[in-house]
């Protein structure tokens, strides 16, 4: 499947998940709007503050992201996160051939960054990919849950911290750092 067909397939299936049927033309149009808006994304000011505080405290930062290498690299560049994260500490599943929640990607990051699971915190907004993946790898997890998702009752893995409408990223960092 070429890239154009993959986009139509992905968008059509996403809409179908919510019970909405769209035509191929509508899916292609949606993709063009998505691509255009992808060039407009910015980091939330609160996340910039968190990154600045983490960097000032000497915390080693990294990124693990799922998706095609070129697409994710473009998002990383647009967000200008290389101001805080060394390029060698950016791990894209499409480049590595393994994706979250697989423990394997977390092990790659540990080896490349020289970090220990028990002293590592992973921040992410996907319960399945980020929280479960990090916890299975023995990492601490911080779940950004601004969409008010619930954790299924049968889950064995729980986040160590949750960032939602009632807690800020900087509050969680202060709690972790004990200050």
Among the listed residues 137, 130, 179, 120, the one whose alpha carbon sits nearest the alpha carbon of residue 159: 130
Helices (H), the chain: 3-17, 24-38, 45-56, 69-79, 93-96, 103-113, 133-136, 169-177
Burial zone of 68 (CB within 10 Å; 0-12 exposed, 13-18 middle, 19+ buried): middle
* Residue ranges for the chain with pLDDT beneath 50: none
Place of tokens 């790898």: 137
Euclidean distance between CA atoms 165 and 145, whole angstroms:
8
Q: What pTM value is reported for the model?
A: 0.84
Burial zone of 153 (CB within 10 Å; 0-12 exposed, 13-18 middle, 19+ buried): exposed
Euclidean distance between CA atoms 43 and 144, whole angstroms:
14
pLDDT digits (tens, 9 = 90+) for 28-42: 999 999 889 988 999
Per-residue model confidence (pLDDT) at position 123: 94
Per-residue model confidence (pLDDT) at position 154: 84
Percentage, residues of the chain above pLDDT 90: 73
Euclidean distance between CA atoms 27 and 13, whole angstroms:
10
Per-residue model confidence (pLDDT) at position 176: 83
Per-residue model confidence (pLDDT) at position 16: 95
* Domains parsed from the chain with CATH numbers: 3-38 (no CATH), 45-177 (3.40.50.1000)
Place of tokens 């020289």: 114
């Amino acid at each position: 499947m070429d890239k154009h067909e993959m986009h139509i397939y992905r968008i059509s299936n996403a809409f179908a998940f919510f019970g909405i049927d769209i035509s191929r033309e509508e899916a292609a149009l949606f993709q063009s709007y998505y691509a255009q808006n992808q060039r407009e994304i910015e980091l939330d000011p609160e996340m910039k503050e968190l990154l600045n505080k983490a960097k000032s405290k000497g915390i080693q930062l990294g990124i693990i992201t799922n998706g095609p290498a070129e697409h994710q690299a473009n998002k990383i560049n647009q967000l200008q996160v290389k101001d805080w994260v060394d390029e060698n500490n950016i791990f894209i599943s499409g480049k590595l051939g393994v994706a979250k929640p697989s423990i394997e990607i977390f092990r790659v990051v540990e080896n490349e960054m020289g970090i220990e699971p028990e002293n590592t915190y992973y921040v992410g907004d996907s319960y399945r990919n980020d929280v479960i993946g990090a916890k299975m790898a023995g990492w601490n997890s911080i779940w950004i849950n601004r969409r008010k998702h619930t954790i299924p009752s049968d889950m064995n893995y729980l986040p160590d911290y949750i960032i939602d409408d009632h807690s800020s990223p900087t509050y969680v960092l202060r709690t972790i750092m004990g200050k």
